[in-house]
Each structure stands twice: as structure tokens, then as C-alpha cells.
Amino acid sequence: MNKLELKEFLDTKVLEYNNPNFIDSDPIQIPHQYNLKEDIEISGFLTATIAWGNRKMIIKNALKMMDLMDNSPYDFILNHNQTDLERFEGFVHRTFNASDLKYFIKALNHIYKNHNGLESIFKINATKDSLQPAIHQLKKVFFELPHPTRTTKHMSDPMKGSASKRLNMWLRWLIRKDSAGVDFGIWKSISPSILSCPLDVHSGNVARKLGLLTRKQNDAKALAELDLALRSFDRNDPVKYDFALFGLGVFESF
């Protein structure tokens, strides 16, 4: 395929997968249970944090996290006490355990009370063409409090070479907006044009087969290469192609 044919092919796949039917099988269903902006961003953040491995297990454990927070994550984050955190004992998703989750609750409380919320961190630290420096800053702010050393591994850092797949997925959910009804578009202070595609084994393999990516590792350098390719197809909404790459990889074994 030449570039025009490839764009037309990917645009078709975006239309195929970027629709409400996608929600039912995807972790994005968790924030779709809420209407309050802060509930959406917090539930999405915690869900994205554990979004690796079996998708059914991700959804099951994300629902469990929401239940443990009385299905009101923002209210719980702001108003919980130390005794309330005891209910998380025994929670585990792969290597993310109760001690990690309890610290995440404390850190989110710190961010909403002292840093004007999650969106503010990204608005202040985004550059004109990237949110990756803002992810780096989020991690710095997130671990300002005393924390278990082991917990830092559960938040990636693009400045240390990570593609930050889960955080870029979460940012897509919150910033990207169209008429399809999958992504939320509730962070209106940040342009979708500077989003980066969530890069994992599925999207990476498909991107290489289509000639969009030459780097073999799924790391920060590969992400920058993929960003350039996708922005050449649509500079205003490049990460809509995440639906195409993910759908081709997961549902079609492309």
C-alpha cells in the first residue's frame, strides 16, 4: 500500500472499532460507569494502572477497586481515613498489591488537595507537541510523599525510556473527543493533537507490519517514531489510529 491507501485502510478500521460496541470488552467500561469528571479520571487512572495481562481479569479487578471505594472514587480519595484503607488488604492484581493501592490512594489525595488535580499537572507540563514530559512530572509529584520503594515500578517514566503504554491509553480516554462515544474528551485544556498512541506488543507488531515503525523495541524512541507516522495521517487526531492498530492486532491477529 502507498501512503494514501494505508491511510484509507486505517481510517476504515478506526470506524470499525471506534464505536460503543468496543466499550463492553475494554477496560474503558470502568470510567464509563461515572458522570462526574473526577470520578472518570480517577477510575480511569486506577484501571489503566492495572491494565496488563488478561483483559477480563483487568476489568474484574478494576471493578473490585471501585467497589472497595464505595463506587465513589473521588469522594473516597478526598475523605477516606486511615481505617478505611484497611479494606484493601488482600487486593492483588499480578504484582500490584494492597500496599501499592493504598499508596496510590494517598498520592491521589495529595494531588487533588495540593496540586489542583490530575488535569492541572498535565496542562502545566505539556509541551507544544508532547505529553511525555508531563507524564514524567506526574511521577515526580505522585511520589512526593513517603512511599514503598516497590510501588514506583507501577508508574512508568518516558524520560527513562518507557513507552508508557497504560498512561498514554488513559490520556487518550480523557483528552480525545469525537462523536463515537468511546473516549470522553473531558480534559478540554489539552489538545488531542499532542497525544501519543498507546504502544504495546499488539499495536507495535501491527505498526511494523504496516511500515509505520522500524524500531524493534516498544520504548520511548519507538513511540516518538510512531507518533510522527500517525500525525502525518491526521495531525489533529493522531491517536484515533490506536483503535485500528489495536483492533487489527487483538481481534484480527493481523
**Mean pLDDT throughout 123-134?**
97
- In this prediction, residue 118 carries a pLDDT of 98
The CA-atom distances, in angstroms, between 102 and each of 9, 80, 98 are: 44, 11, 6
- In this prediction, residue 113 carries a pLDDT of 98
State residue 92 phi and psi, 5-degree precision: -155, 135
Q: How confident is the model at residue 129 (pLDDT cuts 50, 70, 90)?
A: very high
In this model, does residue 80 exceed pLDDT 90? yes
- Encode pLDDT of 3-50 as tens digits: 999 999 999 999 999 999 999 999 999 999 999 999 999 999 999 999
Number of H helices, E strands in the chain: 11, 2
- Position of cell 480534559? 187
Half-sphere exposure of 237 (CA within 13 A, CB side): 13
- In this prediction, residue 231 carries a pLDDT of 98
- Let me know: does 63 contact 57? Beta carbons within 8 Å: no
- Position of cell 490520556? 171
Global pTM value: 0.96
Q: How confident is the model at residue 77 (pLDDT cuts 50, 70, 90)?
A: very high
d(CA 113, CA 29): 27
**Mean pLDDT throughout 127-144?**
98
- Encode pLDDT of 201-214 as tens digits: 999 999 999 999 99
In this model, does residue 1 exceed pLDDT 90? no
Pick 181 or 1 by higher pLDDT: 181
Which among 230, 252, 249 has a CA at the least distance from the CA of 241? Answer: 230
In this model, does residue 125 exceed pLDDT 90? yes
**Mean pLDDT throughout 136-140?**
98
Segments making up each domain of the chain, as ranges: 3-250
**For the chain, where are the E strands, in sequence order?**
92-93, 96-97
- Encode pLDDT of 150-198 as tens digits: 999 999 999 999 999 999 999 999 999 999 999 999 999 999 999 999 9
- Give 92's strand partners: 97
- Encode pLDDT of 91-120 as tens digits: 999 999 999 999 999 999 999 999 999 999
In this model, does residue 253 exceed pLDDT 90? no
**Mean pLDDT throughout 242-248?**
96
